[in-house]
Structure 1
Amino acid sequence: MFTILQVPATDTLNQVTQVAENQTQEPIVKETSLYELIFSGGIIGQSIMVLLFVMLFAVLFIYIERWLTLKSTTKVDANFMPQIKTMLSQGKLSEARSFCKAANTPVARVIEKGISRIGKPIEHINMAMENAGKAEVYHLEKNTHYLATLSGIGPMTGFLGTVVGMVLAFREMAEAKSSRIDMSMLSEGVYTAMMTTVFGLIVGIIAYLGYNHIIGKIDRFSHKLEAEGADFFDLLNEPA
C-alpha cells in the first residue's frame, strides 16, 4: 500500500507567497548625491572641479561688477545738453565746465573736454573729444576681456578633466586582476569624467553670454556718446 503524505495548506500558501515576492522584488538602486558625483573623480578630478568653480565665481563677479558700473555711469540726463546750450549761448564757459565736472558722467567728461578746446580749430576740438570718448569706452570695457577668455578656457578645462577621467578609468580596467571586464568600472569613471565637461560648458556659456551682453551695452552707449558729441558740434556751429 502506498501512503499519501498531506502537506498543510498553510505551508503551500507561504511558499507561493514567498516566490511571488521574490519575483516582484525590484533591485535596490544606490543613490549618489550631487556632491559625491562632482567630487568623486580622484585628486585630479577634484582639482579640476575646484578650478572650474573658481572660474565660475570670477565670471559672475566680473559680469555683475561691470553691469552695475554701466548701470550707474551710462545714464544720460535729458536736461544736460539743453543746460549746456543755454550756458554756451550766454558765453558762460567756466560755468559750463563746472557743470560738466559736477555731473561726473562719461558724456559730461567728453563735453567738458570739447568746451575746454573752444576757440581752437574745429579739428582740434573733434580730436580731443574723440580721444576722451575712446578713453571712456576703454574704462567701461575694463576686465571684460577676462569674460571672453574664460568663455573659451572653461570648456577646454572641462574637456581636459574628461580626458583625464577616461584615461584613469581605462587604466583601472587594465590593472584589474580579473580577466573579466566589469562595466561598472568604466561607467563610474565615465560619468565622473563627464561632470567636468558639464561644468566647463556651464562656465563657458555664462561667460559668453555675459561678455556679449556687456559689450552690447557698451556699444549702444558709445553710439549715444557720439550722438551727444554731434549735438555739441551743432551748438558750436549755430549762428551767434
Structure 2
Amino acid sequence: MMNLIFLLQDTIPAAAADSTATAAPAVAAQSVNYFSLLMKGGVMVIPILLLLFFTIYVIIERALYISRAGKENDALINEVRMHLGSGKLEAAQLAASKANTATGNILESGISLIGRPLSEIEGMMEKQTNVEISLMEKKLGWLGLVAGIAPILGFIGTISGVIKIFYTISITENISIGSISGGLYEKMISSGLGLIVGVVAYSGYHYFNMIIDGFALRVQRAVIQFVNIITVGK
C-alpha cells in the first residue's frame, strides 16, 4: 500500500508537468500573427490585396451613388401632377430637377418636351432612363473583372509555390512530411485569399445589378404615371 502511495506521488507531478508542457505550445499556437501568416502566401498576395482594397472602394463608391440617384420619392410624382394640373410647367420642371435623383432627371426630360408628340416625349424619357442606368452601372464591370481575376491569381500563387516545393525536394532529396506540409499550407494562403476577394467582388456585382433592376421597374411605373398625367389628366 505504501509503495502504491509513493508511486502516485511520483507520477502525478510528472503528469502535471507533461500536461503543462503540452499546453504551452497549444497556447502559443493560438496566438498567431495573421499579418505575418498572410505574407507567407508568396508574392501573389500583394496584387490580391490591392484588388481587395480596390473592390472595397468600388463597392462603397457605387453604394453611395446608387442610394442617392436611385432614391425612391413617391411625393415627387404627386408634386409634378399638381403643377401640371395647374398648368405650371416651369414649376413642375423645377421640382423634378431639385429632386436630384435619376427619376427626377427622367421626369424633367419628359416635362421639357410637353407639347411635342407623345412618341417623342416617351423616346426622350427612354433615352434618359438608359443614361441614368448606365451611370449606375459604371465601374460594375471592374467588380466582375476582379471576381474572375482574383481566384486565378491565388491559384497561380499556389501552383508556383508547389513547383518550388517539389523542386527543392528534388535538389535536397528531403521528402519529409514536415517539409512538404510546411511549405504547402503557406502557398495555399494565396488561393484562399484570392477566393475571398473573388466572392466579395462577385457578390457586390450581382447585388448592385439587382438594385438597378429594381430601379428600372420603378422608373417604368413613374413614366406610365407621367404619360397618364399629360394625356388623360389623372
**TM band (smaller chain):** 0.7 to 0.9
Q: Which residue of 2 aligns with 1:107?
A: 103
Counterpart of 2:97, as a letter, is K
* Equivalent position of 2:93 in the other structure: 97
1:190 maps to which residue?
184
Task: Give the 3 Å change call, closer, same or farther, for CA 35–128 of structure 1 in structure 2.
Answer: same
Distance 2:75 2:99 in 1: 12
CA distance in 1, matches of 2:91, 2:51: 48
Partner deviation per Cα, 1:185-233 (whole Å, 9 max, x = no partner): 2111210111011000100111111111111111101110111011000
- C-alpha contact (below 8 Å) 1:168/1:189 kept by paired residues: no
2:158·2:190 contact (CA, 8 Å) conserved in 1?
A: yes
Instruction: State the alpha-carbon separation in 2 of the partners of residues 62 and 35 from structure 1.
Output: 24
Give distance in 1, aligned partners of 2:189 and 2:233.
Answer: 69
Could you tell which deviates more after superposition, 57-66 or 130-139?
A: 57-66
Selected match of 2:79 from 72, 79, 83: 83
What's the C-alpha RMSD, in Å, of the aligned pairs? 2.6
1:6 corresponds to: none
Match in the other structure for 2:153:
157
Partner of 1:79, secondary structure, is helix
Count of aligned residue pairs for this structure pair: 222
Aligned partners of 1:158 and 1:201 also within 8 Å: yes
- For residues 204 and 72 of structure 1, the distance between their equivalents in structure 2, rounded to whole angstroms, comes to 27
> Which residue number corresponds to residue 35 of structure 2?
35
User: Who is 1:137 aligned against?
Assistant: 133
The structure whose Rg is larger is 1
- Residues 76/38 of structure 1: CA separation in 2 closer, same or farther (3 Å cut): closer
Q: Point out the more displaced range, 128-137 or 24-33.
A: 24-33
**How far does the alpha carbon of each residue in 1:117-156 deviate from its partner, in whole angstroms, 9 at most, with x for none?**
1111111111100000000011111111111111111111
Distance in 1 of aligned mates of 2:49 and 2:233: 61
Contact 1:150 1:204 in 2 (8 A): yes
In the TM superposition, residue 40 of structure 1 has moved relative to its aligned partner by: 2.4
Residue 64 of structure 1: how far off its partner (Å):
1.4
For the residues of structure 2 that align with 1:76 and 1:181, how far apart are their CA atoms?
64
* Greater fraction of residues in helix: 2
Amino acid at match of 1:75: K
Partner of residue 121, structure 1: 117
**Separation in 2, partners of 1:91, 1:180:** 89
What is the aligned-residue identity percentage? 28
Q: Which runs of 4+ in 1 moved over 4 A?
A: 23-30
